Amino acid sequence: MKKDRIHALIKKNTPVYSISIEIYPKYYEELTKRFGLEKNYLKNALLTFKGDTDFYEMMILLQEIINFKGIGLSAELFYESKVTEAIALLLAKVEENIYVSNKEYQEIKDINKYILNNLDRNISQKELCEKFFMGKTKLQTQFKKVNNLTISEFIKLNKIEKSKTLLKDNTLSIKDISKQLGYTSQSRFTEVFKESTNILPSEYRNIYCL
């Protein structure tokens, strides 16, 4: 196995879903010629990308690929556009991270983890500032640079992603799920979920529940 590949141990009879985009050298060359870039610009830029970055825009893009059902010409055009979009997202992320020091980057990573471990309640910026000894302006600026999302967008996105996992468990009611994610009511959770996915939680459960 190549050392840059990801290894995982999967338990027997456990369903596994995976999707990835692999970029070949010929595609680098094509983009380099099209945009008049230096020979190794794309390659070097992507090699500097921090692989442990919480890359939520890419997560959304891959989810769109998973959900796409087209075939033929529509599929060819769709997948080609998504590869181009993936490259653009990667380069944008690299450019953003150039202006964040390693110390600041790690601070935001720690804040990300804290938020993800407390999705069951509503976390304020004041709480984050006090816990991580950071001014409000710095928190907002550095958080946006690292995640390309505001704090509220980050929290909303991750609550929705967690709710999708919980909705696949038929033993949990939608009301229970909304409580687990800190929403004030089931109706509020339903409203936010619909805004983010264009379908109701109950519809998502019917479509994706195993």
Q: Domain residues for 89?
A: 25-97
At 170-191, the pLDDT tens digits run 889 999 999 999 998 999 999 9
Are both 145 and 173 inside the same structural domain?
A: yes
- Burial (CB < 10 A; 0-12, 13-18, 19+), residue 178, is buried
Choose between 13 and 150: higher pLDDT: 150
Number of domains in the chain: 2
Are both 124 and 201 inside the same structural domain?
A: yes
Are both 47 and 121 inside the same structural domain?
A: no
Mean pLDDT of the chain: 83
Residues 6+ away with beta carbon under 8 Å from 73: none
Most confidently modeled range among 34-43, 85-94, 142-151: 142-151
Instruction: State which of 62, 82, 97 marks the end of a domain.
Output: 97
67 vs 86: CA distance, rounded Å: 16
